[in-house]
Structure 1
Amino acid sequence: MPETAFKIFTVDQWAQFQADGIFYGAPVDLADGYIHLSAADQLQGTLDKHFAGQTGLVIAKVDLSVLGNLVKWEESRGGALFPHIYGALPVDAVIDEPAFTS
């Protein structure tokens, strides 16, 4: 499995994450009981399916090795394995500069 994955934030979620230093999840994450991530080859599909028409999104690259056993790869859309975080995402797990969509 890849050692990195991506989390898509709204600008407000990203600002709160930066202020708090930890992210417990977006409403959909909290409802499902884990934080949704996408591997690099899944990112565009996630944007198209769940964020269509939204602007001002922040795409953060996450180092999964920092999270250890909090990450589980589970079957989701079309039978593909997606990374899910069962716990909080610390800001120090974000690597590289985030990408901002327009």
Structure 2
Amino acid sequence: MSNFVYRISTAQEWEALQKNGSTFGGELDRSSGFIHLSKLDQVRPTLHNFFLNSKLELYLLQIDAQKLGDGLIYEIVDGSNSFPHFYGPSRSFVPLLLDAVTKAEKLIPSDGGFSCSLLD
């Protein structure tokens, strides 16, 4: 079990998180009732599937899984892949706190994908 999970974040979301100290994520997160996260080996496929032609400025946030406690639940998404989802205590949907973020790096578009030192 890794100590870290990852959040693909828009620049806007990352700025708001730094300013407010917490975020409920984007529309998808709010409608799902949890914050979508990835394991490190899921970041590239997720970027490829959902953000490839995005014109948004993106950041990869490294998050201390222990700080999410039992609100972090791994769920099977497409039949086989288990993704980390952050619900908060008793699936109450609490915001992700800035305090849980250990590192943030800008994702640089390159060769039809993205790069940053967390992925290299």
TM range (shorter): over 0.9
- What is the total number of aligned residue pairs between the two structures? 101
Unmatched segments (≥5 aa) in structure 2: 88-93, 109-120
1:93 aligns with 2:100: yes
Larger radius of gyration: 2
**Match runs of 1:44-83 below 5 Å:** 44-54=44-54, 55-83=56-84
1:10 aligns with 2:3: no
What TM-score, normalized by structure 1, do the two folds share?
0.92
Letter in 2 for 1:74: E
What TM-score, normalized by structure 2, do the two folds share?
0.79
Q: Which has the higher helix share?
A: 1
Unmatched segments (≥5 aa) in structure 1: none
Q: CA RMSD in A?
A: 1.2
1:99 positional shift: 1.4
Q: Deviations over 1:15-73 (max 9, x none)?
A: 11111000112111011110000000100011011111224101100001011011000
Percentage identity across paired residues of the two chains: 32
